[in-house]
Amino acid sequence: MSDSDAFEIKCPCCGAMMSVSSALKSVLHHAPPPERKAAADFDAAVAGVERAKDEAERKFAENLEAERTKKQRLNAQFDDLFGKAQSGELPAAGPRDVDLD
């Protein structure tokens, strides 16, 4: 067995590192996750939660507005390209490989 058949995986939940052997199909080494720093005080923790909440609300509002205007943007883009196709501004499609047989 060589080190080349072993790979490291980081747990997405807790951050622990595991070294896994693909040949043995087992965990060779486990390193516990780093200790999390506790908030300096309760007020700082509450402020962090409020910032995260505000950021989530902002992102939600941005995505909601993007979805509301999505149909208008796609229709405008379609109309623009359709007009170009009708007026002949777009280049003609070349022969496809299937057409050359």
For 27-75, the pLDDT digits (tens) are 888 898 888 777 678 888 899 999 999 999 999 999 999 999 999 999 9
**In a shared domain, residues 48 and 81:** yes
Q: Is residue 3 scored above 60 in pLDDT?
A: no
**In a shared domain, residues 7 and 26:** yes
CA distance linking residue 2 with residue 24, whole number of Å? 11
CA distance linking residue 88 with residue 93, whole number of Å? 12
CA distance linking residue 52 with residue 58, whole number of Å? 10
What is the span of the domain harbouring residue 8?
A: 1-33
pLDDT bin (cut points 50, 70, 90) of residue 2 is: low
Residue 45 lies in a domain: yes
Residue 93 lies in a domain: no
